[in-house]
Amino acid sequence: MPHHHRPTTIAILGADTVVENAIALLLESAGYDTKVLEDPSASAANAEEQLVGVDLLLLTPSLREETREGFLKAIEVTPATVGMPVLALSTAPQDELNDRPGMVPWPTPLEDLGRTIEAALVSVPSGEPGGAERLPSKPAGHGGAAARDCA
């Protein structure tokens, strides 16, 4: 059972609405609220608006790398979303994912995905927007320190 007072809301960002909706239904069956994001090429302001009330961002395997990087950069500089846990579903072989935090093999059993989501949520201090010292899934190459220092 999640430690949250309200249902956990997971935003799903991808490029294939069939995949996004299937993942949303899967997560909803496990008790999460979901929000499928419409515009992966969002500006920082638009990205922040889309993530209001969201506890965790889940990236689908169909999302292009450039789109993923752009969206993550947009939310890195937004005080309300700095430190938000981000998980990325990946179809890469398991051994390639072991050293990449926040990467979740896909497909994966719902129980495993739920455990990964709960672990990511626990790593973020509650009630402190932008208070997390690290994004569990920040892809290598992102220097989010400046964004955190400004928050």
Per residue in 2-45, pLDDT tens?
444 568 999 999 988 899 999 999 999 999 999 999 877 767 77
Domains of the chain: 9-150 (3.40.50.2300)
CA distance 135 to 30: 24
Q: Determine the pLDDT at residue 131.
A: 38
Q: Rg (Cα) of the chain, in Å, rounded?
A: 14
Q: Determine the pLDDT at residue 114.
A: 94
- pLDDT over threshold 90, residue 86: yes
Dihedral-angle region of residue 37 (phi above 0 means left; psi in -120 to 50 means alpha; beta otherwise): beta
Q: Determine the pLDDT at residue 134.
A: 37
